[in-house]
Each structure stands twice: as structure tokens, then as C-alpha cells.
Amino acid sequence: MVISRKIRKVMRSRPTVEGAGVHLRRAIGASEINEFDPFLLLDDFRSDNPKCYLKGFPWHPHRGIETITYVLRGKVEHGDSLENRGVIAEGDVQWMTAGSGIIHQEMPKGDDSGHMGGFQLWANLPASHKMMDPRYRGLTAGQIPVVSAGNGVTVRIISGEINGTKGPVTDIVTDPEYLDVSLDAGSQFIHPTKADHTVFAYVIEGEGYFCEERNPFTYQMQGENYFDMERRSIIVSNSLVS
């Protein structure tokens, strides 16, 4: 039996400053941890001003979590205490399991026009795996499959499966799905998810509807943390839907 998920909450990402002075927007943070378990953080670091990101994230530790960095524009130079060094370029993904502990740095560089864009997601490791050996994997854009999921729908599969095609990240303890979905105007994307999974979507650009009900409860941003429920179920960019 297929049961449609209901919208529980819609939030706008909030401006904040992290690292050595990187201006970004936070979609999931400390106040939302209980609602999004096992996800701890989702940061949107898109910017067209190099002064807002070039100071980057100098050497700092992580433990007991996984960090997933997805670059859409520009590049991020990375180094860690496992002696991994490299550049996360446009379309690339870095999936780092901190486990028992790792120290690393991430330094955004932007593209030739000064634009930088991407996301970092943190996922908590279960208690049984908190002290696992740290590991690092870098995926280039060419390693991430792109599939059609219906008329006007294109999906990059980082982890998970669409129409029999699996993403390259498979042996993750929390068994996550990470999909980058692009929809043409008027198209529709329906994707089955596991009943025990926490599910959310972050609108990067444009706007769209969530939920198949005729007149679902929905929200339009009117202020910092105030939503007015309306009949029109449109969700705008920089919004997270869960």
C-alpha cells in the first residue's frame, strides 16, 4: 500500500556566518536536530561575492558524523589529516566519514566570474559506528549518473536509486538517498521512499508544489519565522520542505 507523505513543515534557510567568515544560508541547524534525525546540518553556500567565502573553513576537527559536500559552481580545495588532497569541482561530491576523528580544511575558490555555489550536509552516525575508521571518498561529476524520471524531469543520483540506476555512494551506514532533481515547468516528480526514513527537499531555484492533495495545507513566507497558510501550495526557492 502506497501512502503519500504529508507536509509537516516548511522553513526558509537563514543567513549565518561560519568558518573564518563564510556567509551562507542554513536550512537545518541545532534547533531542528530532533526533527531531522539523523541529519544535523544543511548549509547553502552560494554567493557571487568572493569576500563572503574566500576565507573558507581552515583546519578543524569532526568526529562521529559524515559530511557531504556538493559543489554546483566554482570549486573547493580540500585537505585532511588522512593526507587526502584535492579539488571539489563543479558537479563533484565529497563524502567524508569522520568516524573516530578527522581534521580537515575546505577553502572555496569560486569560478572565473567569482561565483561560488554548493551545499554541505551533515549526517549523524549511529552509536555503534561513532568510532569507525575515518574515510574519504571523492566523486567527480562524470561518476554521478544522470537519468530521466519522466517528461521534463532529470535526476542526478548521488546515492539511492531511480528506475534501476543506482548512485555511486552505496555502503553508508544510514542508507541515505541524495538526489538532485531538475523539473521543467509543469512537470511532476514522484519518488517512493522508505517509511522509516526522514525525508526533506530543499528548493534551490524556482518554485513548485509539494503534495498531491487538491487543497493541501501549505505555507508562504511572510516574515522571518511566520507562515500564512494558504490554498495555493507553492514553495519558493531557499525553502526546505519536510
Please count the other Cβ atoms lying within 10 Å of the Cβ belonging to residue 108: 25
User: Is the confidence at residue 35, as pLDDT, over 90?
Assistant: no
**Over the stretch 146-164, which tens digit does the pLDDT of each residue have?**
999 988 999 999 999 999 9
> How many domains is the chain partitioned into structurally?
1
Residue 145 lies in a domain: yes
Q: With 0-12 CB in 10 A as exposed, 13-18 as middle and 19+ as buried, what is 103?
A: middle
Residue 3 lies in a domain: no
User: Is the confidence at residue 46, as pLDDT, over 90?
Assistant: yes
**Over the stretch 114-147, which tens digit does the pLDDT of each residue have?**
999 999 999 999 999 999 999 999 999 999 999 9
Beta carbons within 8 Å of 237's beta carbon, 6+ residues apart: 203, 204, 205, 206, 207
Residue 24 lies in a domain: yes
**Over the stretch 199-239, which tens digit does the pLDDT of each residue have?**
999 999 888 877 755 444 444 433 333 333 343 456 767 77
CATH number at residue 21: 2.60.120.10
201 grid coordinates: 527537499
**How many residues are recorded in the chain?**
242
> What does the mean pLDDT of the chain come to?
87
Residue 21 lies in a domain: yes
User: Is the confidence at residue 53, as pLDDT, over 50?
Assistant: yes
Q: With 0-12 CB in 10 A as exposed, 13-18 as middle and 19+ as buried, what is 133?
A: exposed
Domain that holds residue 178: 10-241
Residue 25 lies in a domain: yes
Residue 113 lies in a domain: yes
Residue 96 lies in a domain: yes
Residue 88 lies in a domain: yes
